[in-house]
Structure 1
Amino acid sequence: MIYTVTFNPALDYVIAVNQFTLGMVNRTVRENIFYGGKGINVSAMLANLGHESTALGFVAGFTGDEIERGVRTLGFHSDFIKVEKGISRINVKLKSDQESEINGIGPEITEKDLEKLFHRLSGLKPGDVLVLSGSIPAMIQNDIYERIMERLDKKEIRIAVDAEKELLLNVLQYHPFLIKPNKHELGQMFGVKLDGEEEIVAYAVTLQKRGALNVLVSMAGDGAILIAEDGRVYKQKAAKGIVKNSVGSGDSMVAGFLAGYLEKGDYGYALKLGAACGCATAFSEGIGTREEVLRLFKTF
């Protein structure tokens, strides 16, 4: 079974306004509500690919109830922990001449709530896959990924981590199966600006030497590079299309890579499917459909 963790899921209220004017009444020309959170995005793409997963995390209030209801319509299971104080976030994403976002705070997560999460994770079995992705809410200490991986160490669970800078660097000692920084995040980790593929490969190899088994670097329109556990470097160009939405593209790539690897145990195939999934979401308003993924996969 695949499990995803989203510490701070949200309802993403995405609205479009023609020529937004500050201080005036503006009317939307298009609006959608999506169930947001990096782990939720991963589970949604896995469902589209025919792979079961269970989403873990914290929800609260009426928005949390809607998130629980909504993810069922996306085709995957959830086992969220109900938090007593606060409400799950509503994030407002405004698309106009410029794009703007207002993100909510989220509920108050206590140490008792975290222990409930640890208890759920203790039930994972050898061969299971766990995806840890996204930022950590302010009320949770930044070592939470390390605490989770320490508890699961030596249990033969494949763990994928998609996070920024220290959150990612600090878990390398636990040998995650997969990490997925994007090109910008990889440069930030080492305080450099990466220009060419040779530099990207060199710094990705450094992360592998520090403990990661597989390092997948997404490069937006330039595709992706994988430094695989078998020592090979795999490269994949991006598909061609019109980008409509960058949210969830990296999460979709993670989902596609894991699905591809679990299906065939082949890193080249996994990278190809991951790239198709990432592009399918980038070319869609929401998470890319199975049909779009398969169409793009055939173009590689």
Structure 2
Amino acid sequence: MIYTITFNPALDYIVKVEDFNLGSVNRTSYEEIYPGGKGINVSIVLRNLGVPNMALGYIAGFTGDEIERRVKDFGCNTDFIHLNEGMSRINVKLKSKKESEINGRGPDINKEDLDLLYSKLESLKEGDILVLAGSIPVTLPKDIYENIMERLEKNNIKFIVDATGKLLLNVLKYKPFLIKPNHHELGDLFNVEIKNEEEIIYYGNKLREMGAENVLISMAGEGAIFISSNGKVIKSKAPKGVVKNSVGAGDSMVAGFLAGYLKNLSLEEGFKMGVATGSASAFSNGLATKEEIYSLLEEI
């Protein structure tokens, strides 16, 4: 079973204003609400591809109830922890001539809440996959990913980590099965500006030397590069299409990789499906459907 964790899920309120005027009353030409959070996005896209999974995390208040309802409406299984105080956040994503975002803070998570999550995770067993994706709420310890991986190391599960900075670097010692930085994040990890594919491969291999088994580096419209556990490098250009929405494309790539990999335990199939799935989400207004993904898979 695949499990995803979203520590600070949200309702993403996406609005389009043709010509946003700061300080004035503006009218929307389009609006939509989605359940948000990197782990939730992975769960939804996996479900779209017919891959069973369980979404874990924390929710609170009426917004939390709505997040859970909407995630279930996508057909996902959930086992969220309901917090007694506060409310899950609402993130406003404004699309106009320039895109802007206002992200909420979210509820406080205390030690008892954290212990509840640890208890749930103890049931994971060999063969299970745990996806750790996204930033950490300010009320949680900054080494929460490390704590989880250390606790579950004995369970012999596979970890997928999609995070940035020290959050990612500090978990490499636990040998995650897959990490997925984009090329900008890869440069930030080593305080360099990456200028070409050779440098991407060089620094991607450094992450393998530091403990990551497989490294998937997304390059937006330029495609992606995959460095496998045996050192093999695979490249793919992105399929052609019009980018409508970049939100969730990276999460979709993670979900696509897992769906492709689990078919025949093939890393190459996982990479191809990951590129197709990330692109399909970028080319759609929401997260990619199975039909959209498979229509692009032939181009990879």
TM-score interval (norm. to shorter): over 0.9
Quote the offset at 1:259 in angstroms: 1.1
Cα distance per residue 1:164-212 (max 9 Å; x no partner) = 0100000000000000000000000000000111100010000001100
Equivalent AA in structure 1 for residue 136 of structure 2: I
Matches within 5 A, 1:234-273: 234-273=234-273
State yes or no: 1:231 paired with 2:231. yes
SS at match of 1:86: coil
SS at match of 1:216: strand
Alignment partner, residue 45 of structure 2: 45
Alignment partner, residue 69 of structure 1: 69
Cα distance per residue 1:120-172 (max 9 Å; x no partner) = 00000110000000000011111000000000113220110000010000000
TM-score for the superposition, normalised by structure 1? 0.99
TM-score for the superposition, normalised by structure 2? 0.99
- Unpaired stretches in structure 2, ≥5 consecutive residues: none
Equivalent AA in structure 2 for residue 202 of structure 1: Y
Matches within 5 A, 1:1-300: 1-300=1-300
Equivalent AA in structure 2 for residue 183 of structure 1: H
Within 1, Cα distance between the matches of 2:155 and 2:24?
57
- Unpaired stretches in structure 1, ≥5 consecutive residues: none
Within 2, Cα distance between the matches of 1:154 and 1:241?
44
Within 1, Cα distance between the matches of 2:129 and 2:267?
16
Quote the offset at 1:258 in angstroms: 1.0
Deviates more, 1:181-190 or 1:20-29: 20-29
Quote the offset at 1:5 in angstroms: 0.4
Within 1, Cα distance between the matches of 2:8 and 2:70?
15
4+ long deviations beyond 2 Å:
none
Count how many residue pairs are aligned between Structure 1 and Structure 2.
Answer: 300
Structural RMSD (CA) = 0.7
Within 2, Cα distance between the matches of 1:170 and 1:258?
23
Quote the offset at 1:97 in angstroms: 1.4
Within 2, Cα distance between the matches of 1:267 and 1:130?
17
SS at match of 1:154: helix
Within 2, Cα distance between the matches of 1:108 and 1:267?
38
Quote the offset at 1:230 in angstroms: 2.3
Quote the offset at 1:231 in angstroms: 2.1
Within 2, Cα distance between the matches of 1:138 and 1:85?
16
Within 1, Cα distance between the matches of 2:171 and 2:191?
19
